[in-house]
Amino acid sequence: MIKPVVLVVEDEPLVRLFATDMIEEAGFEVLQAPNATEAMATMEDRRDIRVVFTDVDMPGGINGIRLAACIRARWPAVQIIVTSGRPWPPNEPIPENVPFFPKPYRQDRVLDAVKRMAA
Amino acid sequence: MIPNSAMPDGAAHLRARALADLMVLDTPEEQAFDDLVFVAAKACAVPIALITLLDTERQWFKARFGLDVCETEIGQSVCQIDIDRADLLEIVDLTIDGRTKANPLVTGDRHFRAYAGAPLVLRSGIVVGRLCVIDTIPRPQGLSEMEKGMLQALARLASENLELRRIAHSSERMTAFQTALVEIGETIRDSRDTEQMAFATAGIVGRVLVADRAGFASVDEAVEAIEVETDWTAPGTVSIAGRHRLDAYGDLREPLAHGEPLVVWDALADQRTLHNLQSAMRIGVRSLVNMPVRENGKTVAVFFVHSAHPRSWPAEEIAFLRSAADRLEAGVAQQRVEQQQRIVNGEIAHRLKNTLTMVQAIANQTLRQVTDREAVYAFERRLIALSAAHDALLDLNWTQADLRTVASTVLDTVGFADRFTMNGPPVALRPQAALSFSLIVHELLTNACKYGALSNDDGGVSLTWRIVESGVDDDLLVIRWHESGGPPVTAPARRGFGSKLISIGLVGTGGVSLRYERSGFSADLQASLRSLARA
């Protein structure tokens, strides 16, 4: 059986590993990217990605919110989940159908969202 | 006439300014002045007596007896003759005197023939006009010494009255300024941002000074340009929001750079603005005050007030403006500090969250082999409850958190908001108590989900709190957690870490009682307000 593919975008290796394990154990194939640029490159390569789970604050100039907007524009079918140690920036509109989980997040809630959105 | 003119323009200028300062021109009749001209006319046995004030283009009568006009153009003024000598002027036959024989008041129907006027000298020494008596027949012998003496005495009374009137007026103004300063203080305290602060202050200042425009502008490093964010304007006056080069308006930089107020009472008569009138006229400024705002010995901003008409800006207005500008600057600085603090707090919170996330990640990796997954999840949720309490604290700059907010944020991390009611007054918790309370609420919620009222489909929890006055000064905060509608309750056989956490209490010294009643579990938490304030 083919597992649905989830891309985890997170600059902190330990947290990325944690998220990857969590989602893999829930029965998904997980790809990883440490920043938005690599995430976009991975998106180009792999057209089978269903869900992107991204952090907001990342080095390299493009944050998770802009990454979400780029993905939304180029691959409208891909689902996006955002997490951050900060509150959602007050002057940024929250895009439709993009769940937001403040860090630290409850694993069961993130997994529920991943499962629902990959379905 | 030999012009008495060490500095005729200078004297006229000073007189006009002093008159403006008196704020008497074009005011209604006042009994005190009317009485003086009446007495003067009777004392000198003449049909006409006047209190004449000499403005630049007209003479205006503050009081008149026997004359039906309230002003004439300055060219027709007999009073202005030799005015700066500050001496009694007497012309016994106006038709003969070279200075008056062609005057229309003499040649025309008014038929002025004899004149005597005593100067109105202010305490500053400036002569602002005369108290004069006029006869329609020549008086070749002139006034008697007694009459002259009375005329001069009445003129002194009139001058004194002008000053007193001015003092009474300015004390009224001072009261108005004091009220305005209080209002400015309140406005600054209530403003959300610096722009609103500046705009509201400008409005209060503009209205109380009856100006046409007022505003707060930042000044660049070299004191070359100002940047107006928003300004208050009277109806019909244009805003000057935007950047302005000071040189375009004249020689305005010098006093500003040195931190001195720049006062232009008439742009048309001021050497500093005279050569750049176009710019001033374009924005409708005839008179202005620029009050510099200093920081570390440098001018960083300016509070300005504009008027479309010349005005004198008396000392109390300048003092008021200085106070208003100082208050605004203090408010702006305070807000800047708070903004900086918010940024720093946000940054600290962000790092804390990332650290807690890493703790979560490490725990997950470390505890991978643990078969009791429930314990792992319990750890994770406690971590998250703690993190939620930090959010509530951050809301109030890490000094305190509201009890209800702490409970709500924890509830958000668990769920069941629809089966949970809260009721109680606002209570500020210090950081330590807020963190303890968040962990306690989390444990109580977890237990309720596992065994209590949230473990079935229709139970509920109510959280209520109140302050109980204990007679002495140490009041108690009493919090009650009460479950109902759950399955029958039995006391647990073993105390886990969760129960221990709960029993520590709000301030680490207990004050917790748990009751396992059959109808529903309840918990009372108590702490004295004094111990809470220290926590």
Domains of chain B, by residue range, sit at 8-169, 191-329, 367-534
Question: How far is residue B388's CA from residue A104's CA, in Å, rounded to a whole number?
Answer: 9
Average pLDDT over residues B472-486: 88
**Same fold yes or no, B8-169 and B191-329:** yes
pLDDT at residue B2, rounded to an integer: 34
Enumerate the residues of chain A whose CB falls inside 8 A of the CB of residue B362: 14
Is A112 an 8 Å CB contact of chain B? Answer: no
Enumerate the residues of chain B whose CB falls inside 8 A of the CB of residue A14: 358, 361-362
**Cβ within 8 Å, pair B365-A15:** no
Of B356, B364, B413, Cβ closest to residue A106: B413
Q: List the single best residue of A106, A109, A112 to mutate versus B (max B Cβ within 10 A).
A: A106
Enumerate the residues of chain B whose CB falls inside 8 A of the CB of residue A12: 354, 357-358
Q: What is the CATH topology of the domain spanning B367-534? A: Heat Shock Protein 90 (3.30.565)
Enumerate the residues of chain A whose CB falls inside 8 A of the CB of residue B378: none
- Residue B299 pLDDT more than 70? yes
CB within 8 Å of chain B, chain A residues 30-49: none
**Residue pLDDT, tens place only, B70-85:** 999 999 999 999 998 8
Question: How far is residue B150's CA from residue B168's CA, in Å, rounded to a whole number?
Answer: 26
| Long-range pairs for B249-252: beta carbons < 8 A, 24 or more residues apart | B249/B273, B249/B276, B249/B279, B249/B280, B249/B285, B250/B274, B250/B275, B250/B276, B250/B279, B250/B280, B252/B290
**Cβ within 8 Å, pair A15-B351:** no
Q: How confident is the model at residue B472 (pLDDT cuts 50, 70, 90)?
A: low
DSSP string for B461-516: EEEEEEEE--SSS--EEEEEEEEESSSPP---SS--HHHHHHHHBSSSSB-EEEEE
Helices (H), B311-372: 315-366
Enumerate the residues of chain B whose CB falls inside 8 A of the CB of residue A17: 361, 365
Asked if residue B256 lies in contact with residue B223, where contact means CB atoms within 8 angstroms, the answer is yes
Enumerate the residues of chain B whose CB falls inside 8 A of the CB of residue A10: none
Find all residues with CB under 8 Å of B153, minimum gap 6, and list them: none
Enumerate the residues of chain B whose CB falls inside 8 A of the CB of residue A86: 346, 349-350, 353
Enumerate the residues of chain B whose CB falls inside 8 A of the CB of residue A32: none
- Residue B230 pLDDT more than 70? yes
Question: How far is residue A49's CA from residue A28's CA, in Å, rounded to a whole number?
Answer: 11
Q: How confident is the model at residue B154 (pLDDT cuts 50, 70, 90)?
A: very high
**Cβ within 8 Å, pair A106-B350:** no
B143: phi then psi, degrees, rounded to nearest 5: -75, 150
Of A15, A86, A102, Cβ closest to residue B358: A15
Q: Which architecture, in CATH terms, is A5-118?
A: 3-Layer(aba) Sandwich (3.40)
**Cβ within 8 Å, pair A107-B384:** no
Question: Which region among B119-123, B289-293, B340-344, B357-361 has the lowest average model confidence (pLDDT)?
Answer: B340-344
Residue listed under structure tokens 């009721």: B423
Asked if residue B389 lies in contact with residue B431, where contact means CB atoms within 8 angstroms, the answer is no
**Cβ within 8 Å, pair A12-B358:** yes
**Residue pLDDT, tens place only, A2-34:** 899 999 999 999 899 999 999 999 999 999 999
B273: phi then psi, degrees, rounded to nearest 5: -115, -10
Average pLDDT over residues A49-63: 91
- Residue A64 pLDDT more than 60? yes
Asked if residue A45 lies in contact with residue A7, where contact means CB atoms within 8 angstroms, the answer is no
pLDDT at residue B34, rounded to an integer: 95
**Cβ within 8 Å, pair B351-A85:** yes
Enumerate the residues of chain A whose CB falls inside 8 A of the CB of residue B346: 86
**Cβ within 8 Å, pair B391-A12:** no
**Cβ within 8 Å, pair B384-A105:** yes
Nearest CA in chain A to B378: A106
Of A14, A87, A106, Cβ closest to residue B362: A14
C-alpha atoms less than 13 angstroms from C-alpha of B471 in its C-beta half-sphere:
0
Domain B191-329, CATH:
3.30.450.40
Nearest chain A CA: its distance from B483 CA (Å): 25
Name the nearest CA neighbour of B66 among B111, B98, B24.
Answer: B111
Q: How confident is the model at residue B42 (pLDDT cuts 50, 70, 90)?
A: very high
Is A119 an 8 Å CB contact of chain B? Answer: no
**Cβ within 8 Å, pair B357-A103:** yes
Answer with the residue of higher pLDDT: B96 or B376: B96
What number is the ipTM of this complex?
0.89
Is A61 an 8 Å CB contact of chain B? Answer: no
Question: How far is residue B155's CA from residue B51's CA, in Å, rounded to a whole number?
Answer: 8
Written as six digits, the tokens of B450 are: 């596992």
Nearest CA in chain A to B366: A18
For residue B313, the 8-state DSSP code is -
**Residue pLDDT, tens place only, A77-100:** 999 999 998 888 777 887 888 999
Enumerate the residues of chain B whose CB falls inside 8 A of the CB of residue A87: 391
| Angle, alpha carbons B470-B472-B478 (nearest 5°) | 30
Nearest CA in chain A to B409: A102
Is A21 an 8 Å CB contact of chain B? Answer: yes
Asked if residue B205 lies in contact with residue B305, where contact means CB atoms within 8 angstroms, the answer is yes
pLDDT at residue B113, rounded to an integer: 95
The gap from C-alpha B212 to its chain's centroid, in whole angstroms, comes to 17
Environment class of B279 (CB within 10 Å of its CB; exposed 0-12, middle 13-18, buried 19+): middle
Largest CA-CA distance found in chain A, in angstroms, rounded: 43
Nearest chain B CA: its distance from A51 CA (Å): 21
Average pLDDT over residues B31-58: 94
Question: How far is residue B192's CA from residue B170's CA, in Å, rounded to a whole number?
Answer: 34
Q: How far is CA B212 from CA B135, B209, B309, in A?
A: 45, 9, 9
- Residue B428 pLDDT more than 60? yes
Written as six digits, the tokens of B39 are: 């007495």
**Residue pLDDT, tens place only, B197-214:** 999 999 999 999 999 999
Q: How confident is the model at residue B295 (pLDDT cuts 50, 70, 90)?
A: confident
Q: List the single best residue of A12, A14, A63, A111 to mutate versus B (max B Cβ within 10 A).
A: A14
Is A105 an 8 Å CB contact of chain B? Answer: yes
Nearest CA in chain A to B387: A104
Of B349, B350, B383, Cβ closest to residue A104: B383
Average pLDDT over residues B374-380: 84
Residue type, B526: Q
Of A18, A104, A108, Cβ closest to residue B353: A104
**Cβ within 8 Å, pair B361-A103:** no
Find all residues with CB under 8 Å of B483, minimum gap 6, and list them: B448, B452, B453, B454, B459, B460, B461, B489, B520, B521, B522
Cis peptide leading into residue A95 (ω within 30°):
no
Domain spans of chain A, in order of start: 5-118
Enumerate the residues of chain A whose CB falls inside 8 A of the CB of residue B384: 104-106
Of A15, A21, A87, Cβ closest to residue B357: A15
Residue B231 has a CB neighbour count (10 Å cut-off) of: 23
Enumerate the residues of chain A whose CB falls inside 8 A of the CB of residue B380: 104, 106-107
Question: How far is residue A99's CA from residue B368's CA, in Å, rounded to a whole number?
Answer: 27
Asked if residue A92 lies in contact with residue A4, where contact means CB atoms within 8 angstroms, the answer is no
- Residue A117 pLDDT more than 60? yes
Report percent pLDDT > 70 for chain A. 100
Measure the N-to-C terminal CA separation of chain A; round to a whole number of Å. Answer: 14
Question: How far is residue A78's CA from residue A40's CA, in Å, rounded to a whole number?
Answer: 12
Q: Which architecture, in CATH terms, is B8-169?
A: 2-Layer Sandwich (3.30)
